[in-house]
Structure 1
Amino acid sequence: MNFNWSTADMTQSQQKIAEYVERHYQTVLLYTEQELADTLDLSIASISRFWRFVGYKNMKDFKKKTTQQMTPTPAKKIETILSQTETANGIAKNFHTVINHLEFTAEQFSEERLNEVSIMINQSHKVYIYAQGSSIGLQELLYFRLARYGLSLHKMVNNGSELLEDMVHIQSNDVVILFAFGRKALVEEEVIFSQAKAIGYKVIAVTDQLVSAITNQADITLFGSRGEPWEFHSMVAPTLIVEMLVIAVSSYDKKSKLEQLEKLQTLRKQYKDILPR
């Protein structure tokens, strides 16, 4: 469920509450205000102020309106099926968890936002892609898929002060795609946003956070659920977002994109004996 709350003016405590409610709204529906406050290590007064801030009279009002919007989901149906079998453990449980991630990602998905990203990328002078850790695989995938369309791309692989070797080339009409996972912003991400503010280039963030400094600073965010901080972080949903992004980019000026693919196919045929696939 997507509550579409404005987070720009939220306090840090309110962002903490919003993030938890977005992720666990079904659990929150069973909580008292005291239980929610204890879970988040906040005061009841903070919880009460939050409901009023986001447009509800109180927690009871939130529960009533949210319950009215709830409908059975595919994930719940699969959960019922798995619970009826003896194999609802191990791989089956992991499979169910991944489905939950995909479903939660789908709830936050916006085709309009994805098309905005596509236009931003296609109209940019150059696209920079930044990633660290496990998200480097997503960086490689996105670069590989977009490069065949003739876009000007650059993978930002430096960290620390060496990041500036990449930053010095970014211009105001460029775009930075930032894979930013985890609640705490990295210093490199802070530098990227600082320069975006100073120079004027756009930042597209692919993130697993709904309420964070990243979502507040990026021009556009694309959400892909990876699970809770204490869980194994699945990259299935973020990978899906990357694939959807590639499709959206290819749909812009489709004729020229198809011509690029035809050139690639021609080269493959020409050198198939020398460079077999």
Structure 2
Amino acid sequence: MDLLQYTFFQHALLGSLLASIVCGIVGTYIVCRRLVFISGGLTHASFGGIGLGLYTGISPLLSATVFAVLSAFGVEWLSKRTDMREDSAIAVFWALGMALGVIFSYLSPGFAPDLSAYLFGNILTIDVSDLLLLAALAVVLAVFFFLQVNTIVCIAFDREFARSQGLPVRTLEYVMMLFIALAIVSCLRIVGIVLVISLLTIPQMTANLFTASFKRIILLSIVVGCVGCLGGLLLSFYWNIPSGASIIFVSILIYFACKAVKAVVQRRSAC
């Protein structure tokens, strides 16, 4: 309980809650649409924006947001073309973002920047501006999904049926790609570029062990995400290890523990 006296730990707890809400909502759509590879591509493409920000002196997160959003729209546009496969389009932006990030970081004037904070994250360094960004995104996502959840579910599971029903499939796909890019950038300070994809998929995989309902997966993945973040924070504090990696490690442990419990229960029920 003594940890709660520190402002940085209070920010970390609040950031964990907000990040779990954002990733719980967006990640459920990612898992259901099988967009994990796309999310990985956008995550690494944002590194180009970070390098550009360090080179030009503007906010790296702002430039990473622009890179991620443009990459998301570019992948969505290229994947609809008949002359390019979706995985090829993702690979293009993935490689381009990483290459530009390394080049701009190398050319940055002054001392070489510490890229580990962007690559692996550190939730203990988030400030009020990061919390406001996460809070605003969480509210917008919650309202949007509350109003459009049935349409989103229809598109996530059967795009052709949704198109036959006259639903705005193309528009909502672009909107969801925008939200995916924003969710990725907003979580960079927490777990970093390398690990953010795990925060968008592991809690949802854990929730999917117990329910197949889209709405329930969202709610349960938020809970799992919060528990994983809290456990990772405590593990990071007591073992003095990076917080981003600790959060993902605990989340994976929770997944395997839940999977083992489910297997035991199914085995006993079968007997």
TM-score (norm 1): 0.24
Q: Larger Cα Rg: Structure 1 or Structure 2? A: 1
TM-score (norm 2): 0.24
> Which structure has greater strand proportion?
1
Greater RCO between the two (CA within 8 Å, min separation 6)? 2
> Which structure has greater helix proportion?
2
